[in-house]
Amino acid sequence: MTPTAAPTYIEINGHRATGEDLRVPALAGYGHFTAMQVRDRRVQGLALHLDRLDSANRELFGLPLGGEHVRGLILHALDGAGVRDASVRVNGFLPPGATATTPMVTVREPARMSTAPKSLMSVPYARTVPHIKRPGEFGQTYYGLLAQRSGFDEALLTAPGGVVTEGSITNIGFWEGTSVVWPDAPALTGITMALLDSGLAQDGRPSQRRPVTLEGLGAYRAAFVTNSQGIAPVHRIDDTSFAVDEELMKRIGQVYESAPWDTI
């Protein structure tokens, strides 16, 4: 028998969400969020998550969103859910007429990306204001589902001219034989991507940023995707196949796992 997943636990402004509270995210889609994996009340790259929330809140609403306040809200929600390991998402909304941000903390079961090689279908879509992580992105969802219905695992977003930007829910990196290459194009800098970027540099293998196009994919030996749930190799983008470089994935995995876990 398949075990039943624990119900999602939600707090808004530090108290368990009511139906009335949930009108805010349901009707006020303009906002931002960050998603993290919590293990034993610790998070990799916690400062990056908190900085992301604060900078996005300032840009969208002209208001700060203090890191210590957010940490307290996360801990309170974990206590309310009665868990130490979880998938946690923190959203920031500003309801019409409000003068302070409404934070929402969602607690779900912990998750980890499957390491099975992924197939990506390129699509002609680039997000507006891509450096901000935000909910309700219609294009990402539409093309992600279209890719799955077409037999792929995910969509690969591209700008005019076939310029590769990011996956629909991931960042993408390429291996050209000596270093990791991240597409030099407008995209969200994911926390896992940032941790890898820093870790590779500390390991003496600094990554690069350069333009990547669909036409030029053949120049790369391997590819992989990252998000808050982990890292996985890519074996195909459209009709271009990539070998799964086990040594590369092992090395990248070790760099990522070496990132410290910060106590919330």
Spell out the residues 6+ positions from residue 56 whose beta carbon is closer than 8 angstroms to its own.
Answer: 32, 92, 132, 133, 134
What pLDDT score does 23 carry? 86
Spell out the residues 6+ positions from residue 232 whose beta carbon is closer than 8 angstroms to its own.
Answer: 113, 114, 115, 116, 117, 118, 224, 225
Q: Where along the chain do its domains lie? A: 9-108, 118-263
What pLDDT score does 24 carry? 81
Write down the pTM of the prediction.
0.95
Pairing verdict, β 208-210 and 180-183: parallel
Identify the CA nearest to 67 among candidates 51, 87, 78, 45.
51
Is the CB of residue 103 less than 8 Å from the CB of residue 91?
yes
Q: Kindly provide the residue ranges of all beta strands, DSSP E only, lying in 95-153, ordered along the sequence.
A: 102-108, 118-124
Specify the amino acid at residue 103.
P
99: buried, middle or exposed (CB in 10 Å: 19+, 13-18, 0-12)?
Answer: exposed
> Does the structure show a pLDDT above 90 at 1?
no
Task: Give, in words, the CATH class of 9-108.
Answer: alpha beta
What are the pLDDT digits (tens) for 203-237? 999 999 999 999 999 999 999 999 999 999 999 99
CATH numeric code, 118-263: 3.20.10.10
